[in-house]
Amino acid sequence: MVAPYLCIPEHMPVFHLTRREHFNAAHKLYNPAWTKEKNDEVFGKCANENWHGHNFELFVTVKGEPNPETGFVIDAKWLSQLIKTHVVDVLDHKNLNLDVPFMVGKMCSIENLVYEIWKQLEPRLPQEVKLHCVKLVETPRIFVEYFGE
Partner 1 sequence: MNIFLSLLFIYTMGTRVSVFREEHFNAAHRLHNPAWDAQKNQEVFGKCNLPHYHGHNYELIVKVTGEIDPGTGYVMDMKVLSDIIQDEVLNRFDHKNLNEDVAEFKEMNPTAENIAVVIYNLLRPQINEQLDLQVRLYETPRNFVEYPVI
Smallest distance from partner 1 to CB 35, Å: 19
Residue 93, interface with partner 1 (CB under 8 A)?
yes
Residue 130, interface with partner 1 (CB under 8 A)?
no
Among 7, 16, 38, 55, binds partner 1 (CB under 8 A): 55
What character string, x for contact with partner 1 (CB under 8 A) and - otherwise, covers 97-116? -xx-----------------
50/127 with CB nearer partner 1 = 50
Smallest distance from partner 1 to CB 57, Å: 9
Smallest distance from partner 1 to CB 72, Å: 27
96 and 27 Cβ atoms separated by less than 8 Å: yes
- Interface positions with partner 1 (CB under 8 A): 22, 24-27, 45-46, 48, 50-55, 92-95, 98-99, 139-140
